[in-house]
Amino acid sequence: MKLITETIEDIDLIVEGNSKGGKDYKIKGVFMQADIKNRNGRVYPVGTLATEVKRYTNEFINKKRAFGELGHPDGPTVNLERVSHMITSLTPEGKNFIGEAKIMDTPYGKIVKNLIDEGAQLGVSSRGMGSIQQSNGRGVVGKDFYLATAADIVADPSAPDAFVEGIMEGKEWVWDNGVLKSKTVEEYKQEIEKAKMHKLSEVKAQVFANFISKL
């Protein structure tokens, strides 16, 4: 069995006022798709996905333990200290599975909330284990597919700009969460300031990638 991840970037970011005078953050959209060749060249048969989503819903979502992380973890296990959100629903709609998740008030959840506030667009990436059989130029995911999480939160190209803006403006959310030390933030800032104009976008992307790798 292999670790299998699939990313979908077109999701809705929802911010609503709550009764306590604060804000609730949610993400909603297509988390998984069946019977269509995705950009990784893989196809999930609808029966396989429906069966596994039902198990995942019963064992995790309904018991309020369907968590996801920020970034691209390199294994199938969900690390509780890195959790940023809780998946609250995952329902079939044709051959799509529509998911919704609540951003939590954890250190990594706070990073997600502030990236949203800064205007970053985010996507989701499902993570699971399974066998893959090649057929007609496609990798067909086997019936042994096991869903570890329906959605980790991943960044599209706008996220590095939002993160770098937070660094340059000294915003507390960048470091005041036990993830980054002020020394590391200062190093990032110096790296950005030294970058030549034609390499600025590349340096921003590298700094953000380095940040995500430390999560």
Supply the residues annotated as catalytic: 72, 125
Given the structure tokens 């993160």, which residue do they identify? 163
Of the candidates 2, 1, 9, 37, the residue with the CA atom closest to the CA atom of residue 152: 9
Q: Which two tokens stand for residue 144?
A: 């042994």
The span from the CA of 167 to the CA of 180, in Å, is 11
The span from the CA of 109 to the CA of 153, in Å, is 10
The span from the CA of 213 to the CA of 14, in Å, is 26
All residues at 6 or more sequence positions from 57 whose CB lies less than 8 Å from its CB, including other chains: 90
Which strand ranges, in their side-by-side order, compose the sheet holding 146-155?
2-8, 122-130, 146-155
Residues 185, 176 contacting (CB under 8 angstroms):
no
Query: Rg (Cα) of the chain, in Å, rounded?
Result: 18
Is residue 197 helix, strand or coil? helix
